[in-house]
């Protein structure tokens, strides 16, 4: 069995050009696979590759702010 390659939240944020908080939200929304190791969240590198392939490196539809009243009809202006 192959061991998962895990990356820190900070490293993941740099790869995705976003913030560590946004990475945690991606985990919560099941856009990234995360696991807590000794009180620190880590991200499965394969899930980062999958997200980047799905979104082409841009903000995906599923990342719209939960408080957004327009529900993805805004063209990506929320953050």
- In order along its 79 residues, the chain shows pLDDT tens digits of 567 899 999 999 999 999 999 999 999 999 999 999 999 999 999 999 999 998 887 765 555 555 555 555 555 555 4
- Say which residue the tokens 């929304």 belong to: 29
CA distance 36 to 54: 24
CA 50 → CA 2, 9, 25, 46, distances in Å?
Answer: 18, 16, 16, 6
The per-residue pLDDT for 56 is 81
The pair phi, psi for residue 41, each rounded to 5°, is -80, 135
């Amino acid at each position: 069995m192959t061991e998962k390659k895990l990356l820190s939240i900070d490293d993941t944020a740099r790869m995705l050009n976003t913030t560590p908080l946004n990475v945690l939200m991606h985990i919560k929304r099941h856009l990234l696979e995360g696991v807590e190791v000794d009180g620190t969240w880590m991200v499965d590198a394969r899930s980062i590759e999958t997200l980047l392939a799905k979104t082409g490196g841009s903000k995906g539809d599923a990342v719209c702010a939960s408080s957004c009243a327009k529900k993805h009809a805004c063209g990506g202006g929320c953050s």
